[in-house]
Protein backbone atom coordinates (compact mmCIF):
# COMPACT_ATOMS: atom_id res chain seq x y z
CA UNK A 1 0.00 0.00 0.00
CA UNK A 2 1.10 3.59 -0.60
CA UNK A 3 2.61 5.61 2.22
CA UNK A 4 0.19 8.23 3.60
CA UNK A 5 1.03 11.71 2.38
CA UNK A 6 2.30 14.45 4.66
CA UNK A 7 0.03 17.49 4.54
CA UNK A 8 1.68 20.72 3.34
CA UNK A 9 2.44 23.36 5.95
CA UNK A 10 0.57 26.67 6.17
CA UNK A 11 3.76 28.48 5.16
CA UNK A 12 4.09 26.38 2.03
CA UNK A 13 0.48 27.08 1.14
CA UNK A 14 1.20 30.78 1.59
CA UNK A 15 4.28 30.51 -0.65
CA UNK A 16 2.27 29.07 -3.55
CA UNK A 17 1.56 31.14 -6.64
CA UNK A 18 1.55 30.85 -10.44
CA UNK A 19 1.97 27.08 -10.42
CA UNK A 20 4.98 27.21 -8.09
CA UNK A 21 5.30 26.37 -4.41
CA UNK A 22 8.24 26.84 -2.03
CA UNK A 23 9.00 24.91 1.12
CA UNK A 24 11.83 25.75 3.52
CA UNK A 25 13.80 22.73 4.71
CA UNK A 26 15.29 22.34 8.20
CA UNK A 27 18.71 23.24 6.81
CA UNK A 28 17.10 26.26 5.15
CA UNK A 29 15.63 27.49 8.42
CA UNK A 30 19.01 27.15 10.15
CA UNK A 31 20.73 29.02 7.32
CA UNK A 32 18.13 31.83 7.41
CA UNK A 33 18.52 32.20 11.19
CA UNK A 34 22.29 32.25 10.81
CA UNK A 35 22.02 34.87 8.06
CA UNK A 36 19.81 37.07 10.24
CA UNK A 37 22.22 36.71 13.17
CA UNK A 38 25.17 37.73 10.99
CA UNK A 39 23.16 40.66 9.64
CA UNK A 40 22.34 41.96 13.14
CA UNK A 41 25.95 41.52 14.20
CA UNK A 42 27.16 43.41 11.11
CA UNK A 43 24.78 46.32 11.81
CA UNK A 44 25.71 46.54 15.50
CA UNK A 45 29.46 46.18 15.05
CA UNK A 46 29.95 47.87 11.69
CA UNK A 47 32.59 45.27 10.77
CA UNK A 48 33.19 45.07 7.03
CA UNK A 49 33.94 41.35 7.22
CA UNK A 50 30.52 40.63 8.73
CA UNK A 51 28.89 42.75 6.04
CA UNK A 52 30.72 40.71 3.40
CA UNK A 53 29.64 37.41 5.00
CA UNK A 54 26.05 38.63 5.25
CA UNK A 55 26.11 39.63 1.58
CA UNK A 56 27.47 36.21 0.58
CA UNK A 57 24.75 34.43 2.53
CA UNK A 58 22.04 36.52 0.91
CA UNK A 59 23.55 35.76 -2.51
CA UNK A 60 23.37 32.02 -1.71
CA UNK A 61 19.69 32.33 -0.87
CA UNK A 62 18.91 34.26 -4.05
CA UNK A 63 21.10 31.96 -6.15
CA UNK A 64 19.38 28.90 -4.73
CA UNK A 65 16.01 30.27 -5.84
CA UNK A 66 17.23 31.12 -9.33
CA UNK A 67 18.92 27.74 -9.93
CA UNK A 68 16.02 25.69 -8.53
CA UNK A 69 13.56 27.60 -10.72
CA UNK A 70 15.71 26.82 -13.76
CA UNK A 71 15.62 23.08 -12.96
CA UNK A 72 11.85 22.76 -12.54
CA UNK A 73 11.06 25.07 -15.46
CA UNK A 74 13.00 22.89 -17.91
CA UNK A 75 11.48 19.60 -16.72
CA UNK A 76 8.29 18.04 -18.06
CA UNK A 77 7.05 14.74 -16.62
CA UNK A 78 4.38 12.23 -17.62
CA UNK A 79 3.09 9.13 -15.85
CA UNK A 80 2.02 6.18 -18.00
CA UNK A 81 0.42 3.04 -16.45
CA UNK A 82 1.99 -0.23 -17.58
CA UNK A 83 -0.54 -3.05 -17.74
CA UNK A 84 -3.68 -3.46 -15.67
CA UNK A 85 -4.44 -1.38 -12.57
CA UNK A 86 -6.41 -3.12 -9.79
CA UNK A 87 -7.78 -1.58 -6.61
CA UNK A 88 -5.56 -1.85 -3.50
CA UNK A 89 -2.79 -3.52 -5.49
CA UNK A 90 0.35 -1.60 -6.57
CA UNK A 91 0.48 -1.32 -10.36
CA UNK A 92 3.49 -0.50 -12.49
CA UNK A 93 3.84 3.04 -13.84
CA UNK A 94 6.44 4.44 -16.22
CA UNK A 95 7.50 8.01 -15.41
CA UNK A 96 8.93 9.95 -18.35
CA UNK A 97 11.04 13.02 -17.48
CA UNK A 98 11.86 15.33 -20.38
CA UNK A 99 14.51 18.06 -20.40
CA UNK A 100 13.07 20.68 -22.73
CA UNK A 101 16.34 22.65 -22.89
CA UNK A 102 18.61 21.47 -25.71
CA UNK A 103 21.72 23.11 -24.20
CA UNK A 104 21.79 22.62 -20.42
CA UNK A 105 21.40 19.49 -18.27
CA UNK A 106 18.78 19.25 -15.55
CA UNK A 107 20.11 18.11 -12.18
CA UNK A 108 18.50 16.62 -9.08
CA UNK A 109 14.75 16.65 -9.80
CA UNK A 110 11.97 14.38 -8.58
CA UNK A 111 8.36 13.70 -9.58
CA UNK A 112 5.95 13.27 -6.67
CA UNK A 113 2.28 13.58 -5.82
CA UNK A 114 0.85 17.01 -5.15
CA UNK A 115 -0.01 16.72 -1.46
CA UNK A 116 -2.30 19.75 -1.66
CA UNK A 117 -4.88 17.63 -3.52
CA UNK A 118 -6.97 14.74 -2.26
CA UNK A 119 -6.64 12.03 -4.93
CA UNK A 120 -8.13 8.55 -5.11
CA UNK A 121 -4.67 7.06 -5.55
CA UNK A 122 -1.03 7.57 -4.68
CA UNK A 123 2.14 7.18 -6.74
CA UNK A 124 5.60 6.38 -5.43
CA UNK A 125 7.97 9.31 -6.09
CA UNK A 126 10.89 8.97 -8.52
CA UNK A 127 14.21 10.84 -8.54
CA UNK A 128 16.57 11.69 -11.39
CA UNK A 129 20.12 12.77 -10.62
CA UNK A 130 20.68 14.12 -14.15
CA UNK A 131 18.65 14.55 -17.32
CA UNK A 132 20.93 15.31 -20.26
CA UNK A 133 20.05 18.29 -22.43
CA UNK A 134 17.15 17.64 -24.81
CA UNK A 135 16.63 14.01 -23.75
CA UNK A 136 14.04 11.89 -21.96
CA UNK A 137 14.73 9.70 -18.94
CA UNK A 138 12.34 6.91 -17.92
CA UNK A 139 11.98 5.67 -14.34
CA UNK A 140 9.77 2.91 -12.91
CA UNK A 141 7.21 3.65 -10.22
CA UNK A 142 3.98 2.25 -8.80
CA UNK A 143 0.47 3.58 -8.28
CA UNK A 144 -2.12 2.32 -5.81
CA UNK A 145 -5.83 3.15 -5.81
CA UNK A 146 -8.08 2.48 -2.85
CA UNK A 147 -11.18 1.65 -4.90
CA UNK A 148 -12.26 0.55 -8.35
CA UNK A 149 -13.81 2.85 -10.94
CA UNK A 150 -12.74 5.60 -13.30
CA UNK A 151 -10.08 7.77 -11.69
CA UNK A 152 -7.48 10.30 -12.73
CA UNK A 153 -3.88 9.49 -11.96
CA UNK A 154 -2.69 11.47 -8.91
CA UNK A 155 -1.79 15.08 -9.72
CA UNK A 156 1.99 15.34 -9.96
CA UNK A 157 4.59 18.06 -9.37
CA UNK A 158 8.26 18.39 -10.35
CA UNK A 159 10.36 19.16 -7.28
CA UNK A 160 14.00 19.95 -6.59
CA UNK A 161 16.28 20.79 -3.67
CA UNK A 162 19.03 21.88 -6.02
CA UNK A 163 21.61 23.31 -5.40
CA UNK A 164 22.08 23.66 -1.63
CA UNK A 165 19.10 21.82 -0.10
CA UNK A 166 17.83 24.98 1.60
CA UNK A 167 14.46 25.03 -0.15
CA UNK A 168 12.16 22.65 -2.01
CA UNK A 169 10.88 24.27 -5.20
CA UNK A 170 7.88 22.57 -6.85
CA UNK A 171 6.16 23.21 -10.17
CA UNK A 172 2.65 21.98 -10.97
CA UNK A 173 2.22 19.66 -13.95
CA UNK A 174 -0.74 19.35 -16.29
CA UNK A 175 -3.75 17.33 -15.05
CA UNK A 176 -3.19 13.59 -15.33
CA UNK A 177 -4.99 11.20 -17.64
CA UNK A 178 -8.07 9.27 -16.51
CA UNK A 179 -7.82 5.48 -16.28
CA UNK A 180 -10.15 2.61 -15.36
CA UNK A 181 -9.18 0.89 -12.11
CA UNK A 182 -10.27 -2.75 -12.09
CA UNK A 183 -11.58 -4.54 -8.98
CA UNK A 184 -9.10 -6.26 -6.71
CA UNK A 185 -8.64 -9.95 -7.47
CA UNK A 186 -7.90 -12.77 -5.07
CA UNK A 187 -6.52 -16.29 -5.54
CA UNK A 188 -9.18 -18.80 -6.60
CA UNK A 189 -8.67 -22.57 -6.15
CA UNK A 190 -8.02 -24.39 -9.41
CA UNK A 191 -11.04 -26.35 -10.70
CA UNK A 192 -11.23 -28.73 -13.62
CA UNK A 193 -13.31 -27.52 -16.56
CA UNK A 194 -16.02 -30.13 -15.95
CA UNK A 195 -16.48 -28.83 -12.40
CA UNK A 196 -17.07 -25.17 -13.32
CA UNK A 197 -20.82 -25.40 -12.76
CA UNK A 198 -21.66 -25.08 -9.09
CA UNK A 199 -20.04 -21.79 -8.02
CA UNK A 200 -22.33 -19.23 -6.42
CA UNK A 201 -24.90 -17.94 -8.88
CA UNK A 202 -23.25 -19.14 -12.11
CA UNK A 203 -24.72 -21.14 -14.95
CA UNK A 204 -22.69 -23.28 -17.35
CA UNK A 205 -23.29 -24.96 -20.70
CA UNK A 206 -21.24 -27.81 -22.16
CA UNK A 207 -21.36 -28.14 -25.95
CA UNK A 208 -22.36 -31.36 -27.66
CA UNK A 209 -20.12 -32.19 -30.61
CA UNK A 210 -16.89 -30.66 -31.81
CA UNK A 211 -16.78 -28.66 -35.05
CA UNK A 212 -20.55 -28.35 -35.54
CA UNK A 213 -22.01 -25.00 -36.56
CA UNK A 214 -23.62 -23.34 -33.56
CA UNK A 215 -24.68 -19.80 -34.56
CA UNK A 216 -23.76 -16.51 -36.22
CA UNK A 217 -23.15 -13.45 -34.10
CA UNK A 218 -21.92 -9.88 -34.51
CA UNK A 219 -18.17 -9.42 -34.89
CA UNK A 220 -16.50 -8.12 -31.69
CA UNK A 221 -13.05 -6.60 -31.24
CA UNK A 222 -10.54 -9.36 -30.64
CA UNK A 223 -12.38 -12.03 -32.67
CA UNK A 224 -10.31 -14.11 -35.06
CA UNK A 225 -10.84 -12.70 -38.57
CA UNK A 226 -10.66 -16.25 -39.93
CA UNK A 227 -14.04 -16.93 -38.30
CA UNK A 228 -15.81 -14.20 -40.29
CA UNK A 229 -18.64 -15.74 -42.33
CA UNK A 230 -18.23 -13.90 -45.65
CA UNK A 231 -21.44 -15.10 -47.34
CA UNK A 232 -23.43 -13.76 -44.40
CA UNK A 233 -21.43 -10.52 -44.49
CA UNK A 234 -22.33 -10.04 -48.15
CA UNK A 235 -25.99 -10.80 -47.43
CA UNK A 236 -26.39 -8.76 -44.24
CA UNK A 237 -23.99 -5.91 -44.96
CA UNK A 238 -22.28 -6.16 -41.56
CA UNK A 239 -19.50 -8.24 -40.04
CA UNK A 240 -20.59 -11.51 -38.43
CA UNK A 241 -18.59 -14.51 -37.25
CA UNK A 242 -19.32 -18.21 -37.21
CA UNK A 243 -19.50 -19.93 -33.84
CA UNK A 244 -18.78 -23.62 -33.63
CA UNK A 245 -19.37 -26.01 -30.79
CA UNK A 246 -16.14 -27.42 -29.41
CA UNK A 247 -15.89 -30.68 -27.55
CA UNK A 248 -15.40 -30.04 -23.87
CA UNK A 249 -16.02 -26.25 -24.08
CA UNK A 250 -17.82 -24.71 -21.12
CA UNK A 251 -19.74 -21.46 -21.10
CA UNK A 252 -19.78 -19.81 -17.68
CA UNK A 253 -22.07 -16.85 -16.99
CA UNK A 254 -21.36 -15.07 -13.71
CA UNK A 255 -24.35 -13.66 -11.85
CA UNK A 256 -24.04 -10.34 -9.99
CA UNK A 257 -26.99 -8.88 -8.10
CA UNK A 258 -27.78 -5.17 -8.26
CA UNK A 259 -25.88 -3.13 -5.69
CA UNK A 260 -24.52 0.26 -4.71
CA UNK A 261 -20.94 1.29 -5.36
CA UNK A 262 -19.00 1.54 -2.10
CA UNK A 263 -21.22 -0.87 -0.18
CA UNK A 264 -18.84 -3.42 1.41
CA UNK A 265 -21.04 -6.41 0.59
CA UNK A 266 -21.51 -5.38 -3.03
CA UNK A 267 -17.79 -4.60 -3.45
CA UNK A 268 -16.95 -8.06 -2.09
CA UNK A 269 -19.27 -9.64 -4.68
CA UNK A 270 -17.70 -7.60 -7.49
CA UNK A 271 -14.23 -8.75 -6.44
CA UNK A 272 -15.45 -12.34 -6.21
CA UNK A 273 -16.80 -12.18 -9.77
CA UNK A 274 -13.59 -10.61 -11.06
CA UNK A 275 -11.44 -13.23 -9.33
CA UNK A 276 -13.49 -16.15 -10.66
CA UNK A 277 -13.64 -14.66 -14.17
CA UNK A 278 -9.87 -14.30 -14.45
CA UNK A 279 -9.24 -17.73 -12.97
CA UNK A 280 -11.68 -19.45 -15.33
CA UNK A 281 -10.52 -17.56 -18.43
CA UNK A 282 -7.10 -19.07 -17.77
CA UNK A 283 -8.62 -22.50 -18.58
CA UNK A 284 -8.47 -23.52 -22.21
CA UNK A 285 -11.96 -24.01 -23.66
CA UNK A 286 -13.83 -21.90 -21.09
CA UNK A 287 -15.97 -18.95 -22.20
CA UNK A 288 -17.01 -16.48 -19.48
CA UNK A 289 -19.81 -13.91 -19.52
CA UNK A 290 -21.48 -11.63 -16.98
CA UNK A 291 -25.10 -11.05 -16.04
CA UNK A 292 -25.92 -8.02 -13.85
CA UNK A 293 -29.31 -7.57 -12.23
CA UNK A 294 -30.67 -10.31 -14.48
CA UNK A 295 -29.48 -8.71 -17.74
CA UNK A 296 -26.63 -10.07 -19.84
CA UNK A 297 -24.12 -7.19 -19.89
CA UNK A 298 -21.09 -9.08 -21.24
CA UNK A 299 -21.76 -11.97 -23.66
CA UNK A 300 -19.67 -15.08 -23.15
CA UNK A 301 -16.24 -15.16 -24.72
CA UNK A 302 -12.61 -15.96 -24.10
CA UNK A 303 -9.20 -14.46 -24.72
CA UNK A 304 -7.48 -11.24 -23.71
CA UNK A 305 -10.16 -8.99 -25.19
CA UNK A 306 -12.89 -10.76 -23.21
CA UNK A 307 -10.75 -10.37 -20.08
CA UNK A 308 -10.62 -6.61 -20.70
CA UNK A 309 -14.38 -6.39 -21.34
CA UNK A 310 -15.23 -8.23 -18.13
CA UNK A 311 -12.82 -6.26 -15.96
CA UNK A 312 -13.93 -2.92 -17.38
CA UNK A 313 -17.59 -3.76 -16.84
CA UNK A 314 -16.92 -4.87 -13.26
CA UNK A 315 -14.86 -1.74 -12.62
CA UNK A 316 -17.80 0.55 -13.46
CA UNK A 317 -20.79 -1.58 -12.40
CA UNK A 318 -23.13 -0.51 -9.60
CA UNK A 319 -25.42 2.34 -8.59
CA UNK A 320 -23.59 5.52 -7.61
CA UNK A 321 -24.19 6.57 -4.04
Mean predicted confidence (pLDDT) in 164-178 = 90
Q: How far apart are CA 57 and CA 37, in angstroms?
A: 11
Tell me, what CATH number does 81's domain have? 2.60.40.10
| pLDDT tens by residue, 259-278 | 999 899 999 999 999 999 99
- Could you tell me if 131 and 74 lie in one domain? yes
- Could you tell me if 68 and 91 lie in one domain? yes
- Could you tell me if 56 and 165 lie in one domain? yes
More confident residue, 200 or 63: 63
* 99 close to 113: Cβ distance less than 8 angstroms: no
Per-residue confidence (pLDDT) for residue 235, from 0 to 100:
79
| pLDDT tens by residue, 28-49 | 999 999 999 999 999 888 888 9
pLDDT averaged over the chain? 83
- Could you tell me if 63 and 197 lie in one domain? no
- Number of domains within the chain: 2
Structural domain containing residue 255: 193-207+248-316
| pLDDT tens by residue, 240-257 | 777 655 444 577 889 999
Amino acid sequence: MATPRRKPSLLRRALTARGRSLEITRAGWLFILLTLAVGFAAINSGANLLHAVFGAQMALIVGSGVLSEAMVRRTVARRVPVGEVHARQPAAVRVELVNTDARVDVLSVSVEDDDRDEDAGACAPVFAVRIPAGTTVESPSTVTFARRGRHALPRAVVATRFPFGLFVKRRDLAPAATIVVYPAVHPVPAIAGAEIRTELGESARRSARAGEFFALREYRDGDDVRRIHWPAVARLGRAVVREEEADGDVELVLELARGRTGDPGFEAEVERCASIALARLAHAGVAVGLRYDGALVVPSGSGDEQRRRLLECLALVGDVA
